[in-house]
Structure 1
Amino acid sequence: MYCIGLILLISCRFGLSQRPPIGPGLPIGLPPPLRKCSKNIRPVCGADGITHSNLCIARRLGIPVLCRKPCPCDCRCKTNNNPVCGVDGKNYTNKCIAQRCKKVKVQCRGRCPCKPKKCRKCPRRGDPVCGSDGITYNNECRAKCQKAEIKCQGPCPCRCSRLCPPINDPVCGTDDRTHDNSCVAMRCRNVQVKCKGRCPCGNGNCNDKCPKRVNRVCGEDGQTYINKCQAKCANVKIKCNKKCPCVSTTCSKRDCPFSRPVCGVNGRTYDTICEAKCKNVKAACTGRCPCRKCTCPKLKFPVCGSNGRTYDNNCKAGCARTTTKCFGRCPCRGARN
């Protein structure tokens, strides 16, 4: 009896008395079979953009249902007023309508136009500049941060006096009007230069009518012409009846009424610039020799020198002993100065 009881105890403890179920059944660990879907047609629109026959078929395929009707589904967004500006520059009631209904990405919150983003790396000092987009920036750094070209120094709008230096070098524009200089014509009036000098420009066949005899004259623009007729065709007044530059042969007080010493390029001091010209010597600087370090104002009126380099203004170009080829940065475009 003791042996039989011991055997029963061991079998109960280690599960030897369990038996598999009798009759048909599912194996342990397998999910129940999916039920068959009906053939009733009640179309639904899935997240894959395809219309399925009914909800059961869409669920069996594991596709979420957007709406219970054929595709496409209507846009469903709340009508709360939280305006946004899209990348197309249009205003939308809220972000949902812009992205889900109109398929447009949001550029910024709020109504268009979007305000420029703040540049954390730029200093706070106030040195306003006007950008090419017509917006005033606190300084050049913030303008560059917004990828805007600087149109002029100071707040917008840009006045012509800040765009061009006050140089009297009249030109005739394509609008048949006389402008102070080529910078005023091209940058302020958006007009191309037709010819140098005041309007009207000389006729194209004017030089053909002039005699071919050589009797050189120097015009007020500093250029030498073969004769007076060709200077007149270019609408330029004659400065002297010889080849440029015009240098007087005698130095009198009438020719040099003002006493202001200059230092010539040869290192000698002359009482007046007129006396230096009489000696056929160019002036290196005003004042007595030696010339001091060239100092110029910090105005930014970029000019392109004849050496192909860009200078901040005419003064700095003169300090580099080069003439101004055109106004603006190199290379020069359109007519030359």
Structure 2
Amino acid sequence: MTRVIALFGALSLTLACESSGSSSSNGDSTDAADATDGTDGTDASDTADATDGSDATDSTDVTDGSDVSDVTDSTDATDGADVTDGSDVSDATDGSDVTDGSDVTDGSDGAEGLDTHDGTDASDGSDGSDGTDGGGTFCGGFAGIKCAGGEFCDYSLDAQCGAGDMGGICQPIPHACDANYVATCGCDGVIYSNPCEANAKGVAVAPKWFCPAPEGEPCGGKGNPQCGDGLFCDFPLEQICGAADGSGLCQKVPEACDLNLDPVCGCNGVTYDNACFANAAGVAVATPEWCKGGTIGQACGGWTGKKCGEGEFCKYDANQLCGAAETPGVCESTGELVCPQVTEPVCGCDGMDYDNECLANTAGTSVSFFGTCDEGPPVGSVACGGWLGNTCTDSEYCAYQPGEYCGAADASSVCMPKPEACDDVKMPVCGCDGQTYENECKANAAGTGLVDYGACTM
């Protein structure tokens, strides 16, 4: 009798230990089988041990013959085999809850380290690296709004690094970048190995023309960058030195040339002994012969700013607005023209009236518009803004539209009359002066073009 009482006491102690071990798992639902495993009264828990995924590596539970056979043992509560065979004691202490990894790595307990490596709190980016908590606020614009520490102002390519009051969005500065090489121009004018490297320096990605072009890259023409140090823009002969937005390729400036005499005319109107000497001067070849009268056939005016030689004039097409639209003309001779005796008045680019276009050209000027200068140009035919900085009259405004960035990046527009009356329709727009107007008409009446539709965001 004394022995039975002692054995019953030992069993009670075992049950208490296993119950204590179960409560420390804090919600480990797959280890509940172990917590009740010592009872063996109904022995369903032992069956769960045999199939418990979290104890799948626990050889003690799976191979323990005494536990498996207990399933049919209706007297487990007093079965000395369960009390003394150690198999149930080993369930409580066999380490299945400590070393089988179910508590440490299954992520279901509150204190096993899941917050530092299971990817839900620290390294999955939801708290900082993907920008969902950090970043997302407006930056840049006329107000020059700065981002918080550890962030940079990220502009879209259309925003051109904040030109014309275009804003960006604050984004977290990346801490690690891959090694892929994709030459990238930054808003600081520096070329980076890829966009991430630019962002890691706190710099947004810029359109390619913000940075000097490297060797072999397009140059010249509208929208292309200039070449970097030690390079020149080499135009094919058919591109006429970049006239009509023709582009070339950046090439290295030769360091030495032979003395062969094979004269060429450079794009600067200078004759060189051969093409190498022209290139060594940083000049592409215009024609493979002596320059005729200086610069005939070469690009002039517009974005090039080049002048024609003596006895020549810069011939623009009628829609080129005397070069104010940034498109170059071509140098032509004034001395080889025979003009008809017809009267079709034109206003020359020199502001003088001529009876016809040919007579204007003979006088060394291209045509600004058809009609007399006193009549004035047709509405919308006078360029404004852009790199020339032309301004409109007091009764006009420079009619920039969204996407033209109010003249930033050399974009130009045309002068339009200010409206004299506007309705009260509420369709807010942001003007080039940084002010929000009730509608487009009221912005134009105030003498300003548009940054964008909608209220200003600065």
Per the normalisation by structure 1, the TM-score is: 0.34
> Looking at CA atoms only, which structure, 1 or 2, has the larger radius of gyration?
1
By percentage of residues, which structure has more helix?
A: 2
